[in-house]
Amino acid sequence: MTIMLNVLLVYFSGTGITRYYASLICEEMNKRGYNCDTYDLEELTDISTLWQKRPVALNYTIKAEVERPLSNYPWPYMKLENALLDRIESPILDDVVQYWSSYDLIGFGSPVYSFRPAPVMIRFLLDLPYFNKAVRTFSFATHDGAQGDYEAFMKNVLTAKGLKYIGHIGQSFIYSATAIMREKFDHVKTGRLLLRKSENARRDINIFLEYVHSQYFGIPYWYKGTNLIDKIFGIPYRLFYSYGIDLILNHFLFGYGIHKEDCIQCMTCVNQCPQGLIEVDKEDYPIRYYHCMYCLRCLNWCPTNALYFSKLTSRKARFPGPEVLLEAVSQIDYETSKKSKP
């Protein structure tokens, strides 16, 4: 039975992977005859201004501000548990509910940051007005191996906004974050891995879409939700992250530095920071006085590789984005096919 659904996907993407995942979801929905629209969160609103009015931060950022401050003026970050109690609707988003009520299904996606959405996405969701019409919603995420209780967090927040939460899908694609610590980053090899992971993603997306179909027609369909590994190992992995990975990040990776001889003062990093935390100093060089959520965008977008977080990331490789990786594979395959022709 064919159904026609109007679907909206709203996402935040740091390295481009979540944007790519949203495009895969939309493609599979279009194949089923759904009308699917996708919006980058930063297209919908001035997200840095929205976030800075009540700057929620995750624990690793707050800990870095205390233990390794970048200036004498710490940013007034709001802990997540306090932000969840401060759900004052933002007038900036007043027209969202009326416009979005025309959709049958809304998906919200983000990279997983310490088992939570990106802080800018959290702020956006908490500031959304209440939905009087019970629009169905789901969450999607990209991650590096485990999502922990990300799904439960999204369910609680979206349900509190009056939306009817029906499920979650997540996918581990490639370790984009580790590129900034590598001497070299093989575009072709990583692009082929991305293609293989994409096939897995499409399979799981279609399992989820069968479940979505059942929600509208009452036909029971098996749906696995978050995978078993996430559910079993979510708690111990969270502890490992808190005391292990968090230690590594705070003491070896977090920070901000610039090779001034390489900087062309193009202001790309200033314009691309989703939290609006990169400024310019008296000599017009970019500078960041506070710890951020470390989405990696400033490093990856810098055209001269002038920025770094610590010595471990200085003059190392950068993640070029999924489109560049896929193009590298396409080019190699094309050249190989030309050589094989008589």
Full 3-state SS string of 1-16: CCCCCEEEEEECCCCC
Contact 38, 26 (CB under 8 A): yes
In this structure, what DSSP letter does residue 77 have?
A: P
Q: Which residue has the tokens 């920025």?
A: 307
Q: Which CATH number fits domain 254-322: 2.40.160.50, 3.20.20.450, 3.30.930.10, 3.30.70.20?
A: 3.30.70.20
pTM of the model: 0.90
CATH code for residues 6-247: 3.40.50.360
**Where does the chain have alpha helices with state H?**
17-31, 41-44, 47-53, 59-67, 80-83, 94-100, 119-127, 150-160, 187-217, 228-240, 246-248, 268-272, 297-301, 322-340
Please write the tens of the pLDDT for every residue from 234-282.
556 555 555 555 666 666 688 999 999 999 999 999 999 999 999 999 9
pLDDT band for 120, please (50, 70, 90 cuts): very high
Comparing 46-55, 151-160, 247-256, 294-303, the range with the smallest average pLDDT is: 247-256
Distance CA 307, CA 288 (A): 11
Q: Which amino acid is at 125?
A: L
Domain positions in the chain:
6-247, 254-322
